[in-house]
Every structure is written in C-alpha cells, then in structure tokens.
A and B are shown apart, each in its own frame.
Chain A
Amino acid sequence: MSLSPTFLLTAIIFTPALGALFLAFFNKKAVEPMRMTALVFTVVTFMLTLFLLNDFSAAEPGIQPVQEDGTRGVSHVWIESWNINYQLGYDGISVPLVLLTSFICMLAMLASWSIEKQVKGYLILYLLLETGMLGVFLALDFFLFYVFWEVMLLPMYFLIGIWGGPRKEYAAIKFFLYTLAGSILMLIAMLMFYFGSSNLPGGSSFDILALTQIGQGNVAGITFDRTVQITAFILLFIGFAIKVPTFPFHTWLPDAHVEAPTPISMILAGVLLKMGGYGILRIAFPICPVGAQYAAYALVVIGAVSIIYGAFAALAQTDFKRLVAYSSVSHMGYVLLGIAVWKIGEDSAAVGRDYWLMGMNGAMFQMLAHGVSSAGMFFMVGVIYDRVHHRDLNQFGGLAGLMPVYTGLAAGIFFAGLGLPGLCGFIGEVFVILSAWNYSPVLAIIAASGVILTAGYILWTIQRVYLGPEYKGPHAEAIVPMNYREMTVGAILLVFAIILGIYPESMFGIMRESMAYLVQSLDQGYQNYAAAVQSTSEAISGILK
C-alpha cells in the first residue's frame, strides 16, 4: 500500500468524525442501522491503523515518516501567524497506543449495543471521542495536541453526563473539572515553551520535535534553563498525572467509572488513562529532561504509593465497578514507576541505563496490557450489570454455575489483572518491578508488595462474585448466559491478553528502538545540561580569578 502518509494519518484521525457526520443524517429511530454504521466506521479505522502498522518501520528509532529532505513527520501550515502547523507523525511509542485505541474502540462499540437511550447522540459523541483520542496520539504540534486533548474531553463529558448512572452529573462534572484543571496547567507550560523558543530561526514554535531538541540542549544558543524546565515539568506532570491517574489526583476516576456506561468505562480505562502516560513519555520527559530528573524520586514515590494505595482502596470496596476502578489506579502506578527510575551518577550520566530502559519498556507494556485487561474487566462488570442492575459485591455469588462461559472468560481476564504469568499483566508489572531496585531498593520493595494485595482483592472478588452455591442478589431470573456478541468481545480481549502475555515481543519489537532512542536522548540531554552548567561555572570562576 502506498498511501500518502498525510492522507493515511488524516484518514485515521478523521474517519470516526466522518462517521459522526454521516450518522447525523440518519433518522433517529433507525437504531440498529446506526449502530451497524458506527461499528463499520470503527472497524475501518482499525483497518487503517493496521495500514499504519504496515508502514511503520520498527528499526527506525525516531519519528516517522521520514521525508526525503530528512524532516520527520508530516507538516502542513495551519495558523501561519502563530506558527501552528497541522503536524502528525508516529514512532514506536505512539503506534502501539494508536492500535490499542482503535482496537478498544471497536470492541467497546460492540459492547455499546446495551445502550438504549438516545442512540444517535451517543454514537455521534462516541465517534467524535475516538477522533480526539487518535489525534492526541498522532499530533506532533503541541497546539494541535492540545486541541485534540480538549476535543476528546467534551464528548466524554456528555457521554458520562447523559448516559451515566444515578450520580452521572456529579461524576461528569468531576471528570471535567479535573481534566480541565490539568489541561490549563498544560496550556501554561505550552506557552512557556512557545515564548521561550522565540530565538529559533523560524520564530516561536509549538513543534514538539523542535522543543525537544531545545530542551535536550541540542540547539546552539537557545535553551530552557533549569527553572523553566522544572516549572514546566511540574505543570505538565500534574496535567498528565491527573489523566493517568496517580495518587493523589485519582479521585475522579472511581466516580467517573462507576457512573459511566460500560463501553465508556472500557474506553476510559483502556485508552484515556494511557494518554497521561503517553503525554509524560512524549512531552514532559523529552522537553524537560532536567525537570524530569529533578522530580524523578517524587515520581517513583508517587508510582509506588499509587500501587499500594490503589490496591488497599480496592480491597475495601463493595461496588464491583469501583473495585475495578481502583485496580486501575494501582496498575497505572507501575507505569509511572517504570518511567521514572532514572538514576544518575556523579558524572550526571545514567547509572544502569539498561534497567531504566527496561523500566520504560515495562511501563509502556503495562499501559498496553492494562488497556486490554482493564477494558476486559469493565466489560465483565458491565455484562453482569446489564442483567441484574446492581453491582454490590456482597450480593453476587454462584455465577460460575449460572453463566459458565462468562465465568471462564472473566476469570481469565481477572487473572490477567492479577499479573499471572502467561497473561498480559505479568510482563509489564514484573519488568517494572525488576528495574526498580536499581533506582531505589526501598521503593522497589514497597512496590513489589503490591503483588500480595493485588492477589488479595482479585481473588476475594472472584470468590464473592463467581464462586459459591447460589446467587444472593435481586433479579436472579434475569441471569442468562452470555450472548454471542458479548462472548465475542470477551473472547477477543482474553485472546489478546494471552497473546501479549506469552509473546510480549509483539509489542516490545515495535517499541524497542524508539524507547532506546528516548532513553539515550534523555540521558544525553541531561548530560548536555550538566556540561553547560559546568562550563559556565568554570567561566565564572575564571573571571573571578
């Protein structure tokens, strides 16, 4: 296939939006055709991302496609007076996430058949949401990134606020406020970079690649100094940490998850949370290596605390969905932990860089694994909720006998969340943990104790929901085995959980070079900065003499 990169990338981002437009012309009573149309559009988008995977070259570490003149990504002028471009590109970090997004969106669309209310509006917002998410992962212009970030926000607000549960307004507003607060901080950092880069030959820029080069000290005569980097990093980090979410910015997540309809929970957990991690990997770290190194210990602490805190909080829940939501907090803690284990020596070079690289890879893998397993867990909660309309863990039981296939699939997915070898959760968690000792033994030990708590809450949940002789809650008559649509979704997720678990190279192969390049460039960037500081202080002392 020789699609022009611009066309392919644009098509990936805007196919769902096109679908939304198309759906606008439907009669709102034609529910089934609209669902099918929306499904077709998500499938087409998924196909297009497969084309992207085909075009992607795993051996190339940097941003792709590489143009003939050596520039990276595709870029078209958008708002000339402010030097804003429609700039897109992909590398080993974004390609897996783009695939995950279109994949989860497709499955969540299949799970959307349970939505009965105002289907037309739901589907349109759903497709717009997908456009926003794909745009975030493919944008290389900070302004464009920001625009997509906000585009994703609004449909989500309505999807929770209209199609949600009893406290939907509260949850939607909470979600919106948190995310908006984060994006404001991001906006400030963005403007700091924009006005800090005015000495560039082309004037101020939102170009993430150019800003990265500046931040890593590779551009002569222009740098972001230590204060700027630290300030900007903290702003960006809080912005992204809210999305991840990490302790203590996580309280929107349980509410949003509990109130959101099942497919939206799947997307929320499967994709949206990854945008925070992606932002840290794509923007916060590369542009502010000094700030990142400055904050590394705090990040690792936050990661470890998230793991333990989320697991404990999950242990205390009686709402099935809330429990799964807290497990997300716990699992995403590993992501932060793995990204931040950047230990430097006296010469400011990274100590045990391979371990950091392993942590980074593990974190990235954990994002993908969590995307599959948490989407699966939410789906499994949704399946039973659709039948009995409650989620009280103490009022289940005996589902293993009533819904054997469902129980089998759910057990598989929950074991993936538990981090069982052979399933996807294990690889990410254990690689991150193994890389952590090099950075801080104490935190590594604390984080590792999460394995006990995770086993505790997952097994206890399985016991309360699936095992036992009899179902104890209301609507016992509504419990029927899964239908084929539900089985398809569950089985596909479980199969992918297994594939990722026994063949992690499928994802490591894609991200390896890009991750190595990222780690190498961050290390180099920090050393550039240290060398600059060194030479300045020498010059000053020379003058003083």
Chain B
Amino acid sequence: MPTESIGNELALLLGIAWLLPLAGFAVEIFGGFLWPRVSRTAAYIAVACIGIGFLCSFTALMKWGNATDWVVLKGTDSHHASAGEHGGEGHGDEGHGDEGHAEEAAHAEHAEGEESESGVHHDAVATTFSGTMYSLGTFGGLEVTLDWYIDSLTLLMFTMVTLIATCIHVFAIGYMSDELTEDHVDHEVHTADGGHFHRPGRFYKFFSYMSLFCFSMLGLVLAGNIFQVFVFWELVGICSYLLIGFYVERKSASTAANKAFIVNRVGDWGFIIGLMILWTYCGTFRFVGEESTDGHAAKPGLFEMVRGNDGQIDVNEEEDVVYLRDAHGHRLEDPETHEPKTIPYALLIVAGLGVFGGCIGKSAQFPLQTWLPDAMEGPTPVSALVHSATMVAAGVYLAGRFYPVFTPEVLLTIAYIGCITLFLAATIAVVATDIKRVLAYSTISQLGYMMLGIGLGGWAAGLFHLVTHAFFKSLMFLASGSVIVGCHHEQEMPRMGGLRRKMPITAYTMLIGVIAIAGLAIPGTVIAFSGYHSKDAIVATALAHTNLNPGHFLLFIVPLVTAGITAFYMFRLWFYTFAGEPRDQELYDHVHESPWVMTGPLLVLSVFAAGCAIGGEQGFLYSMLSHSEPAGVATGVEAAAVSLPGHDLIHDVHHEAGVMALFAAVSGAIIAYLLYGAHVLNPADIQRHFTGLYTFLVEKWRFDDLYDAMFVRPSRVVAGWCAATDRVVFDGILHGACRAAINISKWDRLFDEGIVDGLVNLVGNVVFGIGRSLRVVQTGRLRQYIMFIAVGVLTLFVLLFAFFPKY
C-alpha cells in the first residue's frame, strides 16, 4: 500500500531526526575525555546532529505534503480533491519555502466554502500515520509499547523544534565559548578563602546535555501513545534539570534545578493518576487504533474510544457513564461478559485533569508556575530552547494532542488555569528587572494564552500561538543572551540602557521579537507580525466563547487586558535595555556586539518570528495545524453547562476581536513608551504610590513563601516524624522487647540459682550434716558397740512390751 510506505518513510525520516541527537549525546559525553578542553568538536557534532535532524524533518514535511497532495492548502474540504488531479502540483512544491505555501493556501481558501472539515482524515488520502516501534512489555491482553504517530502537527513540531534548536546550538557555540578553557573562573561562586571559584571548562558537557534534550523532546513529539509521552516527559524533565543546574557549583542553580524537577513531579503525579485511570478503563495507551493489517478487528485507541469517530462523547442518559467506542462508532463490548465497556464520566474528568496536571507542571501554569523563573539560572541558550520554545510548550502540545480525551469540564478548567496564569505572570513581569526573568514571566503568560485557547475550543489557535511564540520567544531569549554576553554577565536592566548604539543587530532583532509578542500590526495590510495572528486567533475564540457563555466573561476580558500588559512590559524591557541613555557608564563602555555566530541565529529567527504566521488563518502554518484538528472541534459544542464555539462563530467575531486586541496592545506599547522611552512620567513615582502592590508583585505573589509553608516545611516535618517513629516507636518496641527478654532471663537466672539449685543443695547439705553429726558415735571401740547393741536390743524389747503388751 502506498500509504503504508509513505508512513514508514516518514517514520524513518523522523526517526533519524529523533535518534541522531541521542547518538550525538553518546559521542559527546564520552568524547569529553578524549578531546582537549578547548576543542569545539562537541558543538560541531551537536549542531550536525540537530541540523541533519532539521533537514530530515523538513524533508518529511515535504514528503507528507506531496503524498497528501497538499490537501491542507487546498482548503479543509479535501473530500472532493482527487489524488490524480493535483499530483503534479504537489511534486512541484519541494523547493518552496514556507511563504510559498502560505500564498498557495490563501488561494485555496478563497475557493473554499464555509463548510468546515469533518475532522476525519482517513477518507480520501491518509494524512495521519502511526505504527509501533517497540514493545516494553506484554501482560496477557495488555501491551505497553513505544509507537509513533505522525500528522501535520507532529511534522510541524519536528520542523519547528529542530529549526529553533539548530539556531540555538549555533548561538551556544558563541555563548558558551568562555567554557573553552582549562581554567574557567566562575565569578558567582566564592570559595571559603574568599576567591572566585576555578574549574575546568565544561563546553562538551553542555552540548551533550543539549543533544540529549533534543532527543527527548523529539521523542515526546513523535510519541504515539500517552505512556510514551510520559516517558519522554520525564526525560525532558531530567535534561532540564541537568541544564538548569549546569553551573553545579552555584547553590542557586542546583536549587533551581531541584525545584524545577520536583515541582514537575507534582504535575507528573497527576499525569500518572490520569494514566492509571485510562489504562484501567481503556486498556490501551495508544492515541489511535492499530492499523488492521491482517483483517482482524483493529484495537481502537484512546481517541476513538472516548470520542468515537464523530467527536462526540457517548454518554448515557444519566450522564454519569461514558460508553467506549471503536473507530467506526460502535460501542465496545467486553469479550467475555458482553457488557459494554464504559468509563464513569467523573473518572474521565479526573483522568483529563490528571493528564492536564502534567501539563500544568511542564508548562509552568498556575499553581505550579514557580519553577520557571528560577530555571533562568541555566545558561541563556537553555532558557531559549528548553524553557521557552520547546519543553515548556510540551505541556501545551500535550493538551492539544490529548484534546479528544478532555471533557468540556476539563477544557473549562484548562481555560481558567490558562487565564489565571497569563494574568498573574504578566503582572509580575511588569515589575521584574532581571532581563531573563521578564522573559520567563512573559513565557509563562504566553503559555497561559495557549492553554486558554485550547481550553476554549480554539484548538488550532492555541497551537498556532505555540509555534509563533516558540520563534519570537527563542529569538528574544537569544537576544537577551547576546546582551548578557555583551554586558559581561550583567542581567539587571536598571544598569543597562542605550545599548542599541553598541549592539544594533541584537537590539533590532529583539525589537522584532517584542513587536511580535505584543501582537502589533497595521490593520488592513499584510504587515502583521506573527504574534498578531496567533494572539488574535485566541482572543477571537475567547470572544466567541463569551458570546456563547456570558457567565464566563472573564475568560475574554482578562486576556484582552493582559494583551495590553504584555505589550507594556515587553516594550518596557526594550526601552529599558536598548533605548535612552546608558545608566551605568562603566558597564556601557565595555559592551560590544556579539560575534556572527551569535547574531546569525538572531537574524534567522527574526525572519521566522516576524513572518512564520504570514497569511494568518489562511496561511500555511494555521492551515497545517488546523488540518490535524481533532474531530468535532470545528463544529463546536452546544451544551447546557459550557458551549464551545465552532469555527463559524469564531470567524464571525474575528475582525472585532482583532481590533480590540490590537487596541489593547497599542495602548500598552504607548504607555511603555511614555514611561520608559519618552520619560513623560517617572516610573519610580508610580512605584512609590503603589508600594504595597509593587512589593507583592516583586515577591511573585508570595507563591514561593506559600508553598514553602504549605508543602516544603510540612513534608520535612513529616519526614522527621517518620524517622523519629522508626527510632522511637519501632526501635522502642524492639528495644523494649529486648529489655523485657533480658529482665525475664535475669529472673530466670535467680529462680534457677535460688530455688532449683537451692533445693538440690539443701538435700545434700542436710544429709551431709546428719552424717557429720553421727560421726561422733562411730568411736571404733568394740566394747562400746556391744553396749550399744545390748542397750538397743533391750530398748527394743522394752518398747515392744510397752506398746504391744498383748504379745
């Protein structure tokens, strides 16, 4: 079958892209012993691995497009498109860049009616492919496997991750070059004698960790079942741990690394609970069923089971039990009892919330957001790759990927969590002064937007924002890295200022990123940065949602206001850092523009940050994404509790929402300009007026203190109790028993020695005494003896006669 072979071909390409970094990791970590410290070999290997990975991913994307005749770009109503008609056209697309497709998509969209796609991609041309790589264990009818699952989302994520990772790897060659020495001085660590800490450089180690991270991240995206996602989820977690704690000598770094991992584990706890429920009731982890190759009935996957083939959850009349269904929409039966397979509705909610708990941890959503700002202890390329573009977005990716299993209640929770997070993080970002921390909070906030989008039913909008955000945020992080290198590891913005004159490339690429995240555009023209399109899509979804559910109006108001705040703090950052006059002349004098190896990636990324979303909802990116949209999203959901808007409703309010969002963003940007660019108002005055609020925000809403008091200290106390229980109770019981045994044996000894032995001795002593006393009688005199005899006999006779006189 041709679809089989294209599926395998794609899997092979993505598999290479996935496994190459692992091989790179192995070579780099062991090669560290062979190469001199000043060798850049590790970096070249890492770049080569991820670069080839990008080429493979891109090739796979093209192949997928050709194999599916670019149905994506011809509009979503692909049912009528025959393979032959567009075959030649598809082959011609190989050499085009993204923009080319986007234009084509725009054409296709015009020819398109209002009819939205049904979400089933198996009809004309197969566009999703899945298969099994590896079995981890088989237990009767249960099997835990590693699978692959490829659709347009997977391909896009692969391409995006590998592209950004390649740029960041190249950037890191420059950024980490101070590690290329036998004697690296860490100015942040002081030894006991007061000097700076010296150590050999760890250039190779950094790149090996980065390669391991790429492997884990790509594995996560390629995963074909939720268990496998969990596996790589943990692996990216440990890579993040290693990279945050890269400067192992810094106490703050290792603490931040621990915090990141442990907070993530809290989310993973929820993830495991979700896994347990799904595993127990569905008996499979796979997203979609296995291909029925040998004519046997295919085993359905989780998505079909919960959502059937029409995107609807099959609930019974009381709405407390969900019937599990197969790919054709028939209810599944237990093979032995012939009763329908079901899952309680409440448990489906719990499972969804559980899995989303994992997403909360990984994507640093409220209430587990506290680890991400601390994670900025890692080197800046790590922050760019792991903690903004890829790993933290994995939570959003999973929320999107696992969308079919989420019930409306779970989606509403996701929306509210996202809403809280985006506001909370944005407010903190307003007062942060560390350049990386501002970006970190902005990342949390943007991730909140993505979650909000997904939770409101704007599936493609959320993931759209994921991709655009990945580009502009990694761009901004790299630019901040460039600033940090330029300023000799100074990260406090109040000491900077006016840097644009010294480092123009960094400043203006950063500006592109700032404009992109703020979502600025000139309405009515094609001049619109990527963030405009994606944030616009989310806000439009929110507006449509609010129209349907007026009770949840906050889900629209808050993101709209926050859009303004976002623009404000991002422009604040830019003005603070690059504009105006230098605030620290000594620092300023030593600032220099970064070398090409660092500014090159900035330029590449700035192109994508500006233009990756070109065409908006008719563009290539959005079309690709919405092609993978789960069944039933497009039509929306009408329900008593919460209704989700369909594509039509969103489309209707799109323009309105766009204007509102743009207005918010522009006002934010203008306020920032007035405060920090034009100095119309003095920010310090405002700060003095709101001291309480300011302190509250600077202390990050006091979450760290709260968690410390609520969890960390209590768990230490409980731990102390447990250890004390062991010492006091269990060992106490044991020692008590031993003491009792010893006492008993002491008594036993007394009894033995006093009474048992005493009796025996007494008998002996008495007999001895008697014998001794009789010794006197034994004189040895013959005549005396005779006298005794005579007297004795006489006495006997006398007694005899006295007592028995009768005889």
Contact = CB atoms under 8 A, between A and B. Distances in A.
Are A and B in direct contact (Cβ within 8 Å)?
yes
Interface of A: 174, 177, 248, 250-251, 254, 309, 312-317, 352-355, 357-358, 361, 398, 400-401, 415, 420-422, 426-427, 430-431, 433-434, 436-438, 441, 444-445, 448-449, 451-453, 455-456, 459-460, 463, 466-470, 504-505, 508, 512, 516
A468 B249 contact: yes
Contacts of B139: 354-355, 357-358, 361
Contact of B273 (A352, A448, A463): A448
A468 B268 CA distance: 28
Interface residues of B, number: 61
Contacts of B94: none
7 contacts: A174-B734, A254-B726, A313-B726, A316-B722, A422-B235, A441-B277, A453-B715
Contacts of A504: 136-137
A376 to B, nearest CB: 17
B138 A512 contact: yes
Contacts of A248: 730
A312 B265 contact: no
Interface stretch (B47-55, B140-148, B559-567): B140-148
A489 B265 CA distance: 31
Nearest to A407: B248
Given A401-B249, A451-B268, A516-B140, A355 B273 contact: no
Interface in B703-753: 715-716, 718-726, 730-731, 734, 738
A459 B237 CA distance: 13
Given A312-B715, A315-B716, A448 B272 contact: yes
A431 B715 CA distance: 26
**Residue from B136, B190, B197, B232 with most neighbouring chain A CB atoms (10 Å):** B136
Contacts of B277: 437, 441
A452 B265 contact: yes
Interface stretch (B250-258, B302-310, B640-648, B774-782): B250-258
A428 to B, nearest CB: 10
Contacts of B266: 452
Contact of B235 (A313, A314, A421, A436): A421
A420 B280 contact: no
A357 B262 contact: no
A365 to B, nearest CB: 8
B251 A451 contact: no
Contacts, number: 153
Contacts of B141: 354
Interface of B: 135-142, 144, 186, 189-192, 197, 199, 230-232, 234-235, 238, 241, 245, 248-251, 254-255, 257-258, 261-262, 265-266, 268-269, 272-273, 275-277, 279-280, 283, 715-716, 718-726, 730-731, 734, 738
B141 to A, nearest CB: 5
Given A313-B726, A434-B275, A427 B261 contact: no
B269 A469 contact: no
B734 A459 contact: no
A470 B191 contact: yes
A459 B262 contact: yes
A250 B726 CA distance: 9
Given A315-B716, A469-B189, A469-B197, A431 B144 contact: yes
Grouping DSSP codes into helix (H, G, I), strand (E, B) and loop, the B interface class, with mixed when no group exceeds half, is helix
Contacts of A355: 139, 142, 280
The 4 closest A-B pairs by CB, nearest first: A354-B140, A315-B719, A437-B276, A316-B719
Contacts of A455: 261-262, 265
Given A357-B140, A456-B715, A468-B249, A251 B276 contact: no
B234 A434 contact: no
A470 B722 CA distance: 31
Contacts of A309: 722
A196 to B, nearest CB: 31
Contacts of B276: 433-434, 436-437, 441, 444, 448
Contacts of B719: 312-316
B729 to A, nearest CB: 8
A405 to B, nearest CB: 9
B714 to A, nearest CB: 11
A505 B723 contact: no
Contacts of B190: 469
Given A254-B726, A434-B275, A467-B245, A401 B199 contact: yes
Contacts of B189: 469
A455 B266 CA distance: 10
A437 B343 CA distance: 13
B268 A316 contact: no
A398 B234 CA distance: 26
B347 to A, nearest CB: 8
Contacts of A358: 137, 139-140, 142
A355 B250 CA distance: 45
Nearest to A317: B723
Contacts of B731: 251
Contact of A316 (B186, B245, B257, B720): B720
B730 A251 contact: yes
B799 to A, nearest CB: 64
A400 B734 contact: no
Contact of B255 (A254, A426, A427, A463): A463
Contacts of A470: 191-192
Given A354-B283, A505-B135, A508-B138, 20 more contacts: A174-B734, A250-B730, A251-B731, A251-B734, A312-B718, A314-B719, A315-B719, A361-B137, A420-B234, A422-B235, A426-B231, A431-B144, A452-B269, A455-B262, A456-B262, A459-B257, A459-B258, A466-B248, A505-B137, A508-B137
Nearest to B237: A420
Given A313-B722, A316-B723, A512-B138, A467 B192 contact: no
Contacts of B716: 315-316
Given A251-B734, A353-B140, A470-B191, A421 B248 contact: no
Contacts of B726: 250-251, 254, 313
A437 B249 contact: no
A354 B283 CA distance: 10
B138 A449 contact: no
A504 B110 CA distance: 53
Contacts of B718: 312
A469 B140 contact: no
Contacts of A430: 230, 272
Contacts of A426: 231, 234
A437 B269 CA distance: 13
Contacts of B721: 312
A251 B254 CA distance: 32
A348 B232 CA distance: 39
Given A174-B734, A431-B137, A448-B276, A467 B248 contact: yes
A415 B269 contact: no
A433 B268 CA distance: 13
Contacts of A353: 140
A36 to B, nearest CB: 29
Contacts of B140: 353-354, 357-358, 516
